[in-house]
Amino acid sequence: MAGPIQSICVFCGSSSGTRPQYAAAARELGELLARRRIRVVYGGGHVGMMGELADAALAAGGEVVGVIPQHLMRPEVAHQRLDELIVVESMHTRKRTMSERADAFAVLPGGFGTFEEMFEMVTWLQLRLHAKPVGLVNCLGYFDHLLAFLHHAAQEGFIRPQHRGLLLVEATASLLVDRLLRSEAGEPAGDADLSRA
C-alpha cells in the first residue's frame, strides 16, 4: 500500500440472491464504509447487491462513485443518485477505472462478473501490478466451495505457497474492513485463507 485507504472498490452481484442475509451484508458494508468515511467505488447499478450497497452508503452520508459501461446505462440499471457516475465504453475500461479509483477491494456474493473482477484483481496483485489488498465477505459460507477449490489448486501445485494468502477472507463486512485496514498498515496477509473451507 502506498498510503491510507480512502476508497474501497466493492465487487458484488446485480442480483440479491435467494437469502435476505446477502442483501443485509451489502447494506452492512455500505453503511460501515460511510461511517468510516471511506469512499465506495462500485459498478454503478441500482439493482441487486449493488443497489443495496450504494443505497445504504448514501443513506449513511457516505460518498459513492459508480462506474458503468454505456450499454448498461438504461434507466432501470444505472443508479441516478450517486455522488459521481462515470460512464465508460467497455467492461474492461470499467474494471480498470474502478481499480484506479480504489485503494483496496472487497468482494460480496455475486456471479460470473463478480468472480471475474475478483480474480483479475488478485492476479494483478500476484503479478505486482498493484499492491492493494483484496478480500471477500464469506457471508453464510457463500464462497466455501470456491475456497475449497483454491485450496485444491494450491495442493496440486497451481497456486504457489507464497500466494496462498493474497485473498483475504472474513465472515462479515466489519471483520473484512478491519482486515483490509490492518493490511494497509503493513500486516502480512498470512497463508491460512485458502485452508478455511
| Tens digits of residue pLDDT in 179-188 | 999 986 444 4
Across-strand partners of 170? 137
Domain 7-195 of CATH type 3.90.1170.50:
no
**Tell me, what amino acid is at 175?**
L
Q: Using DSSP, how many helices (H) and how many strands (E) does the chain show? A: 6, 7
| Tens digits of residue pLDDT in 2-34 | 568 999 999 999 999 999 999 999 999 999 999
CB-CB neighbours of 19 under 10 Å: 13
CA dist., res. 9 & res. 156, Å (int)? 31
Helix, strand, coil percentages, rounded to 5, for the chain? 45, 15, 40
pLDDT reading at 176 higher than 50: yes
pTM for the full predicted model: 0.91
